[in-house]
């Protein structure tokens, strides 16, 4: 696709397609985007929780205000009181998110919105997760919360909204799969996410990971230079997708034991490492670090020589440090070797020469 130039904009103005003011606005936007990209380190994966201490200060004040309002409305109207909090959240969002564009206060307001909608159906889960998941309104509450968060995202464009939407989707999939007991022993619960057991929960987790990955890539491709909120939204979906996919597959092969199981585990980690480089999202590599350490200990550790364990940790640390330091170079080499595939040109740019 040909890139627009200043001459193209001047020609558009001369032809009457756009006004001079519109052309100037487009050129200013283009200059700001280029400056923003140039200001980022080449290997950066932008992520922002707050812009300064002023946001922390405002968030503390908002937290106290919301907590007080939550308690007051609870005594005033029970579950209905939680719903009464939503207009206040929207009003605060108009100022702190749309006008001031503050990051941390917007995240707090998003969390509060999700909590208010969920609590308006379920109340406060003071009796534990078993009580919440067995509530007849549980699925309806998750759907309503997800819809509210999507509407919030469309209005205020808070990337963190996608993280909470993803959690609602995960909760729905696990609820539909059934068989999950929040109060069961951890060892028994972990086995439920082993694909070889034929558990519906493991399949639900795998499906969720694939959907979250697809959503994250969709957002990423809309903002390959990672300058706006689209890529930030993708970031939060990748944070959910990585552990869901990596842990489900890796756990399955780990449970198979030495031999074929561990070979497949190593291959799985290698595939996700390549995926992390291709889409330039480190979360998929980070999610597999625990399994990487296990395989390294299994291959190089010596039970009769405790020093071997420390040496293995040192080598893993060196490897991860080097990977983080030369991530851009490794990604560039990999992308050059790979043939063209659909969407390759819409991924984060890399040096072609």
Q: Is the Cβ–Cβ distance between 226 and 45 less than 8 Å?
A: yes
Contacts 24+ apart (CB under 8 A), 258-262: 258/298, 262/295, 262/298
Q: Are 287 and 246 in contact (CB under 8 A)?
A: yes
pLDDT of residue 137: 80
pLDDT at 76: 65
Q: How far apart are CA 12 and CA 236, in angstroms?
A: 39
Beta-bridge partner residues of 316: none
Please give the pLDDT value at position 128. 46
| DSSP character at residue 259 | T
Q: Positive or negative, the Cα torsion across 244, 248, 251, 253?
A: negative
The residues with which 305 forms a beta bridge, in sequence order, are 302
β-bridge partners, 302:
305
Task: Look at the pTM and tell me if it is higher than 0.85.
Answer: no
d(CA 42, CA 350): 9
| Mean pLDDT (10-residue bins), the chain, 353 residues | 59 68 62 48 61 86 88 69 84 91 92 90 56 69 95 94 95 78 57 77 92 95 85 94 93 89 93 94 91 86 78 89 89 91 87 67
Alpha-carbon torsion angle 2, 4, 8, 10, nearest 10: 180
* pLDDT of res. 72: 77
């Amino acid at each position: 696709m040909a890139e627009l130039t200043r001459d193209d904009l001047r020609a558009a103005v001369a032809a009457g397609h756009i006004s001079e003011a519109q052309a100037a606005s487009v050129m200013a936007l283009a200059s700001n985007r280029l400056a923003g990209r140039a200001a980022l380190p080449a290997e950066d994966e932008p992520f922002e929780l707050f812009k300064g201490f002023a946001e922390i200060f405002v968030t503390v004040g908002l937290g106290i205000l919301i907590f007080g309002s939550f308690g007051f409305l609870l005594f005033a109207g029970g579950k209905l009181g939680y719903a009464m909090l939503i207009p206040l959240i929207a009003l605060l969002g108009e100022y702190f998110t749309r006008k001031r564009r503050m990051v941390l206060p917007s995240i707090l307001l998003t969390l509060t919105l999700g909590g208010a909608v969920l609590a308006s159906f379920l109340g406060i889960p003071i009796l534990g997760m078993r009580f919440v998941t067995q509530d007849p309104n549980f699925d309806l509450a998750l759907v309503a919360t997800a819809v509210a968060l999507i509407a919030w995202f469309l209005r205020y464009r808070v990337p963190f909204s996608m993280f909470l939407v993803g959690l609602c989707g995960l909760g729905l999939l696990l609820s539909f799969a059934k068989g999950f007991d929040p109060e069961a022993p951890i060892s028994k619960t972990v086995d439920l996410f082993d694909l070889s057991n034929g558990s519906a929960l493991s399949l639900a987790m795998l499906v969720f990971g694939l959907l979250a990955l697809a959503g994250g890539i969709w957002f990423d491709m809309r903002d390959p230079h990672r300058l706006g909120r689209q890529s930030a939204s993708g970031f939060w979906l990748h944070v959910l997708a990585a552990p869901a996919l990596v842990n489900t597959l890796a756990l399955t092969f780990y449970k198979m034991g030495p031999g074929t199981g561990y070979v497949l585990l190593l291959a799985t980690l290698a595939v996700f490492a390549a995926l992390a480089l291709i889409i330039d999202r480190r979360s998929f590599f980070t999610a597999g670090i625990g399994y990487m350490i296990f395989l390294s200990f299994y291959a190089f550790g010596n039970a009769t020589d405790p020093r071997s364990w420390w040496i293995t940790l040192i080598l893993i640390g060196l490897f991860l440090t080097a990977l983080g330091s030369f991530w851009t170079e490794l990604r560039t080499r990999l992308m050059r070797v790979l043939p063209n595939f659909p969407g390759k040109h819409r991924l984060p740019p890399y040096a072609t020469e």
